[in-house]
Chain A
């Protein structure tokens, strides 16, 4: 109890010194972080309040890092943190205030100064308030081009503001997410063409023709500047949305699942990318962990030699018995995966993961099917690049039998006919799919046969548990013959399953 009262007092101290307003703001901020899925504990909360006491509050960057260091303990959560931080703090400064006359004020503050700074390309755009409105589309394009050319940060920001104002078509109170406005703005700016123009001028400026290498470097440089501009535009859209809807509502709209929580079946392209990025460290982590588990899982037989050797330091008394490291046999894995449209992404990730940690198994064989079945182990053998192998699985495997709609029954039958004799007592069989069989015959006897021969049979289903056995899903029918059915909708669940497997 003493400790509890201690923490309360600390919180109050922090409050009195950092100012109640900041404390309240921090409180809301931390609640939002938790809502976004970040595990922020009470101690970390207190640490954060303690930390900001040592940081000059007017220094945004320092303030941000102080919060990050105490609240975010996993790099994968950094993006989520940044978004919430931006909404809560970055957009609150005086210069971001958007009142009734906010828009004109903005232009007064920003545009003319920048326009003066660059001089050319926007004659009448200077001077009076609200001048930005008079910019023609061509002038805006020119401004964009110039700012990218010179990597001029304030000018980029001004351009971003203008572009959003002109193209995003934002209406107060309209319940649309920021991505929609971002898309509209970017479509109008046509950044691909701007990039082309920038490259063209780089080619002209160079005295000789650019070598491919130089070309590539210029290209990457401009691309990174354009990326910066996109960030500015996104910030600007958020700023306006925050002004329109308020911080809490905005933070809620922007909430995105953490990479390990992204649903395989409904991931957007962007999410797929971050999933793929998250997969690599995950495989490395799993491999290390599994290898370690195998070595230290239990103690082996007494190692007589080592025991006698170590007893010498205690005068011949065998005080410390030594044991041999156990060498348990590695399991053999058969993966049978449905790669039809709806579950393709899930199959891809699982195949990738299983092959990436293939060293932990004595053998990995994979089969893919839609309504026909094909063994794809050959693509992975000797391939250094698993991504490449997966790509070949998708394009080259022969998996269509009749019409290219999932037919689990037929696929399993083919498996049993051709490869059934290879399933042995050391084999663990994983079947991946949603078991949506399009009302074909289930042929669940195959799973039963497999179960009798194999060490284990597991079914991994990427659908939420609530959807199982609804419609044409017959996962229950297969499930009775399996040692377990697992809901695997995201990386977190996949990781947990693989851990369980070994």
Chain B
């Protein structure tokens, strides 16, 4: 496969830098790692497995990439009990039944094999997201969201399409891809994914952004925020994330908080404002108490010092 340029290398991008720039144009601030892996995925024709805490922009990455490529986003939301009739394809039984009944009532004798061939043709096939993604004529980006929610056995459904970009349908034969779409799988890591699935993917861990990047994100996404406020927001959030919490604030929660501060007309976050609005950042009472306590402790420390 490595030699087969036409299959592997799609060459949608020129270089890592270009990916990064284009992502920034659609308001997604990437870093070296993210852009590099998107670039590689395109060149190697491999899916990307994106893992990380909730609310760090995993799904958004897929959306942004589809936006910058001008491609259609096909999304498969995974859940327990997802099966091939929801993910790959399904025969349209009702239409098949109608077809059989129509044949019976009409007078021309159609022999059985002809009918069988007829009702198991593409006309009676309902395509589901995975099949749709590889048979599409227009450029698409496939997003398989929260893949850790399906059972281990169901993962096997994904294997054929992820490694060979084809789907085998017993009655029809193998349908091969017309194009190799960029594929993103996201996972919240609620369970260990199988080796087989991981092996087929490039792995990307998206963590909470560092201080500078978070500040940039806040500046980019929140309208009317001043640079100094964005800096304060990012720094406070970093401090909070260092605590041992049930749930650390995600990027989206940071953004919500920053928006709130802008709406309230705050220019300078002091302890009082922070206390009043912290429930936007933290969602558990114990976490809120802990954060507040930490900041107060520091006060006594300062007096001693």
Distance, CA A288 to CA B93, complexed state (A): 35
Task: Say which residue of A75, A292, A384 sits within 8 Å of B80 (CB atoms).
Answer: A292
Please give the distance in Å from B280's CB to the nearest CB on chain A.
17
Of residues 37 to 66 in B, which have CB atoms within 8 Å of A's CB atoms? 37, 39-40, 43-44, 46, 49, 51-52
Q: Which residues of A contact B301 (CB under 8 A)?
A: 215
Binds A, one of B104-112, B115-123, B232-240, B249-257: B232-240
Distance, CA A370 to CA B298, complexed state (A): 38
**A24 in contact (CB, < 8 A):** no
**A289 in contact (CB, < 8 A):** yes
Instruction: Count how many chain B residues have C-beta atoms less than 8 Å from C-beta atoms of the other chain.
Output: 57
Q: Could you tell me if B40 and A55 are in contact, using CB atoms closer than 8 angstroms?
A: yes
Binds B, one of A84-92, A126-134, A217-225, A235-243: A217-225
Q: Could you tell me if A50 and B295 are in contact, using CB atoms closer than 8 angstroms?
A: no
Distance, CA A117 to CA B52, complexed state (A): 40
Please give the distance in Å from B172's CB to the nearest CB on chain A.
21
**A204 in contact (CB, < 8 A):** no
Encoded as 1 (CB less than 8 Å from any A CB) or 0, chain B from 94 to 106 comes to 1001000000000
Q: Could you tell me if B190 and A284 are in contact, using CB atoms closer than 8 angstroms?
A: yes
Please give the distance in Å from B273's CB to the nearest CB on chain A.
9
Of residues 237 to 273 in B, which have CB atoms within 8 Å of A's CB atoms? 238-239, 242, 244, 246, 269-271
Q: Which residues of B contact A219 (CB under 8 A)?
A: 298
Name A59's closest neighbour in chain B (CB-CB). B16
Q: Which residues of A contact B70 (CB under 8 A)?
A: none
Binds B, one of A65-73, A138-146, A403-411, A482-490: A65-73
Task: Say which residue of B3, B36, B244 sits within 8 Å of A55 (CB atoms).
Answer: B36
Q: Assuming A65-B32, A69-B203, A212-B296, is B238 touching A220 (CB within 8 A)?
A: yes
Name, among A68, A70, A212, A288, the residue most crowded by chain B CB atoms within 10 Å (CB to CB): A212
**A361 in contact (CB, < 8 A):** no
Q: Which residues of A contact B49 (CB under 8 A)?
A: 73
Q: Could you tell me if B151 and A292 are in contact, using CB atoms closer than 8 angstroms?
A: yes
Please give the distance in Å from B3's CB to the nearest CB on chain A.
6
**A13 in contact (CB, < 8 A):** yes
Binds A, one of B131-139, B174-182, B194-202, B216-224: B194-202
Distance, CA A43 to CA B285, complexed state (A): 47
**B191 in contact (CB, < 8 A):** yes
Of residues 158 to 202 in B, which have CB atoms within 8 Å of A's CB atoms? 189-192, 195, 198-199, 201-202
**B299 in contact (CB, < 8 A):** yes
**A351 in contact (CB, < 8 A):** no
Encoded as 1 (CB less than 8 Å from any B CB) or 0, chain A from 142 to 183 comes to 000000000000000000000000000000000000000000
Q: Could you tell me if B235 and A220 are in contact, using CB atoms closer than 8 angstroms?
A: yes
Please give the distance in Å from A283's CB to the nearest CB on chain B.
11
Q: Which residues of B contact A220 (CB under 8 A)?
A: 235, 238-239, 242
Q: Could you tell me if B37 and A65 are in contact, using CB atoms closer than 8 angstroms?
A: yes
Please give the distance in Å from B236's CB to the nearest CB on chain A.
7
Task: Say which residue of A13, A69, A212, A296 sits within 8 Å of B37 (CB atoms).
Answer: A69
Q: Could you tell me if A66 and B40 are in contact, using CB atoms closer than 8 angstroms?
A: yes
Q: Which residues of B contact A75 (CB under 8 A)?
A: 51-52, 189, 205
Encoded as 1 (CB less than 8 Å from any B CB) or 0, chain A from 196 to 239 comes to 10010000000000111101110111001000000000000000
Q: Which residues of B contact A66 (CB under 8 A)?
A: 36, 40
Distance, CA A72 to CA B1, complexed state (A): 22
Distance, CA A75 to CA B206, complexed state (A): 10
Q: Which residues of A contact B51 (CB under 8 A)?
A: 75
Encoded as 1 (CB less than 8 Å from any A CB) or 0, chain B from 282 to 305 comes to 001110000000111011011001
Residue pairs across A and B with CB atoms within 8 Å: the count is 124
Please give the distance in Å from B134's CB to the nearest CB on chain A.
21
Encoded as 1 (CB less than 8 Å from any B CB) or 0, chain A from 34 to 78 comes to 000001010110110011001100010110011011101111001
Task: Say which residue of B43, B189, B294 sits within 8 Å of A54 (CB atoms).
Answer: B43
Distance, CA A314 to CA B244, complexed state (A): 55
Task: Say which residue of B2, B238, B269, B271 sits within 8 Å of A14 (CB atoms).
Answer: B2
Name A42's closest neighbour in chain B (CB-CB). B199
**B204 in contact (CB, < 8 A):** yes
Q: Which residues of B contact A199 (CB under 8 A)?
A: 305
Task: Say which residue of A39, A70, A217, A221 sits within 8 Å of B202 (CB atoms).
Answer: A70
**B82 in contact (CB, < 8 A):** no
Q: Which residues of B contact A101 (CB under 8 A)?
A: none
Q: Which residues of A contact B52 (CB under 8 A)?
A: 75
**A307 in contact (CB, < 8 A):** no
**A313 in contact (CB, < 8 A):** yes
Q: Which residues of A contact B80 (CB under 8 A)?
A: 292
Q: Could you tell me if A69 and B204 are in contact, using CB atoms closer than 8 angstroms?
A: yes
Q: Which residues of A contact B244 (CB under 8 A)?
A: 387
Q: Assuming A72-B203, A220-B235, is B191 touching A47 (CB within 8 A)?
A: no
**A471 in contact (CB, < 8 A):** no
Please give the distance in Å from B167's CB to the nearest CB on chain A.
21
Q: Could you tell me if A65 and B36 are in contact, using CB atoms closer than 8 angstroms?
A: yes
Distance, CA A51 to CA B285, complexed state (A): 46
**A328 in contact (CB, < 8 A):** no
**B157 in contact (CB, < 8 A):** no
Task: Say which residue of A13, A41, A61 sits within 8 Å of B199 (CB atoms).
Answer: A41
In the complex, 19 of the A-B residue pairs with CB atoms within 8 angstroms, ordered by the A residue number, are A10-B1, A41-B195, A43-B199, A46-B2, A65-B33, A68-B33, A69-B36, A73-B198, A75-B189, A213-B269, A216-B298, A217-B232, A220-B235, A284-B190, A285-B189, A285-B191, A313-B94, A385-B286, A387-B244
- Residues of chain B having any CB pair with chain A under 8 Å: 1-3, 16, 32-33, 36-37, 39-40, 43-44, 46, 49, 51-52, 80, 93-94, 97, 151, 189-192, 195, 198-199, 201-205, 211, 232, 235-236, 238-239, 242, 244, 246, 269-271, 274, 284-286, 294-296, 298-299, 301-302, 305
- Residues of chain A having any CB pair with chain B under 8 Å: 10, 13-14, 39, 41, 43-44, 46-47, 50-51, 54-55, 59, 61-62, 65-66, 68-70, 72-75, 78, 196, 199, 210-213, 215-217, 219-221, 224, 281, 284-285, 288-289, 292, 296, 313-315, 384-385, 387
Q: 20 more A-B contacts (CB under 8 A) besides A65-B36, A75-B52?
A: A13-B2, A47-B44, A50-B44, A51-B43, A54-B40, A62-B32, A65-B37, A74-B198, A78-B205, A211-B271, A212-B295, A212-B296, A212-B299, A212-B302, A216-B294, A217-B235, A217-B236, A220-B239, A285-B190, A384-B284
Ordered nearest first, which 7 A-B pairs have the shortest CB separation?
A212-B299, A73-B198, A216-B298, A69-B202, A384-B286, A65-B36, A54-B43
